[in-house]
């Protein structure tokens, strides 16, 4: 595994596969699992073309705050929904909530951390008191803003000794809980393949198409 690096390209030969990084370094092995996210640099190599991401129509703000029972119970996931918008808090490590806000907005709007609280207060005017308390409690300087995109399903996730994993293979919107479950399933099912790269040559007997989505289903 390579951390803190950005991949640029890969090449496969009879002995294995090599990947290069932006810092000029490289790594080689029998099998390459490309888990480089929704902006995957290796996805075009596997697919043979560069798919276009599409804007899903909403912006997400997310971050961390200290657990406070005035915001939500500290032992459960709490979500507020209305007007096509969402606010959610879930307990994570070190006594904190992970939170997010979803708001339908046009793509390409400027980001201004100085007006973040005012913007969220306007978007969620009249919402429940815990939502207003969350807006007051968050730190605008550490709150992330993301325009949510997804990509059409791919016809394959594997080319030779290179396989796509996670968002590199099926980037989708955050609201599709099924995809979160799929990511866990993919990671669990990749384990036996890592010792036998030759079985990654598609079509693989342990894959079958999903009629509902066109994604690969792992069994």
Contacts of residue 50, defined as CB under 8 A and 6 or more positions apart, other chains included, come to 43, 44
Q: What is the CATH number of the domain that holds 83?
A: 3.30.9.30
Residue with tokens 């390579």: 2
Same domain, yes or no: 60 and 98: yes
By C-alpha distance, which of 5, 21, 10, 36 is closest to 167? 36
Q: What is the CATH number of the domain that holds 46?
A: 3.50.50.60
Same domain, yes or no: 141 and 70: yes
- The SS3 of residue 47 is helix
In a domain, 201, yes or no: no
Same domain, yes or no: 40 and 64: no
In a domain, 157, yes or no: yes
Same domain, yes or no: 136 and 67: yes
Question: Which residue stretches of the chain are H helix?
Answer: 43-47, 116-123, 129-137, 167-170, 177-194
Quote the number of domains for the chain.
2
132 phi/psi in degrees, rounded to 5:
-65, -40
Same domain, yes or no: 137 and 95: yes
What is the Cα–Cα distance from 62 to 100, expressed in whole angstroms?
A: 4
- At residue 175, the pLDDT reads 59
Helix (H) or strand (E) holding 152: none
In a domain, 142, yes or no: yes
CA atoms within 13 A on the CB side of 96: 11
In a domain, 74, yes or no: yes
In a domain, 216, yes or no: no
What is the Cα–Cα distance from 31 to 39, expressed in whole angstroms?
A: 21
Same domain, yes or no: 144 and 165: no
- At residue 128, the pLDDT reads 97
Q: Taking the CB of residue 117, how many other CB atoms lie within 10 A of it?
A: 15
Same domain, yes or no: 110 and 122: yes
Render the burial of 80-115: b for 16+ CB within 10 Å, e for the rest. Answer: beeeebbbbbebeeeebbebbbbbeeeeeeeeeeee
Same domain, yes or no: 48 and 63: no
In a domain, 138, yes or no: yes
- At residue 195, the pLDDT reads 53
Domain that holds residue 88: 54-149
pTM of the model: 0.69
- At residue 187, the pLDDT reads 54
Same domain, yes or no: 133 and 101: yes
Radius of gyration in angstroms for the set of CA atoms belonging to the chain, rounded to a whole number? 20
Same domain, yes or no: 79 and 141: yes
In a domain, 121, yes or no: yes
One pLDDT digit (tens) per residue for the chain, 219 residues: 788 889 999 999 988 999 999 999 999 999 998 888 888 999 999 999 998 888 999 999 999 999 999 999 999 999 999 999 999 999 999 999 999 999 999 999 998 999 999 999 999 999 999 999 999 999 999 999 999 988 888 888 899 999 998 888 877 676 555 555 555 555 555 555 555 555 555 444 444 444 333 323 332
Same domain, yes or no: 83 and 72: yes
- At residue 3, the pLDDT reads 81
What is the Cα–Cα distance from 154 to 134, expressed in whole angstroms?
A: 38
Same domain, yes or no: 58 and 131: yes
In a domain, 200, yes or no: no
């Amino acid at each position: 595994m390579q951390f803190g690096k950005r991949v640029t390209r890969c090449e496969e030969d009879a002995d294995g596969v090599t990947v290069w990084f932006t810092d000029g370094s490289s790594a080689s092995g029998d099998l390459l699992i490309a888990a480089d996210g929704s902006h995957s640099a290796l996805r075009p190599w596997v697919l043979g073309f560069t798919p276009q991401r599409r804007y899903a129509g909403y912006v997400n703000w997310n971050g961390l705050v200290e657990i406070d029972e005035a915001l939500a119970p500290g032992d459960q996931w709490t979500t507020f929904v209305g007007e096509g918008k969402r606010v959610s808090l879930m307990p994570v490590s070190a006594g904190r909530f992970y939170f997010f806000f979803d708001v339908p907005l046009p793509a390409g709007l400027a980001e201004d951390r100085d007006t973040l609280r005012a913007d969220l207060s306007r978007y969620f005017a009249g919402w429940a008191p815990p939502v207003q308390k969350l807006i007051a409690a968050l730190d605008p300087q550490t709150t992330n803003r993301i325009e949510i995109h997804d990509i059409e399903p791919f016809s394959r996730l594997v080319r030779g000794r290179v396989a796509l994993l996670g968002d590199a293979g099926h980037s989708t919107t955050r609201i599709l809980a099924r995809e979160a479950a799929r990511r866990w399933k993919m990671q669990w099912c990749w384990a036996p393949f890592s010792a036998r790269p030759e079985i990654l040559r598609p079509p693989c007997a342990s894959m079958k198409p999903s009629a509902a989505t066109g994604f690969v289903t792992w069994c």
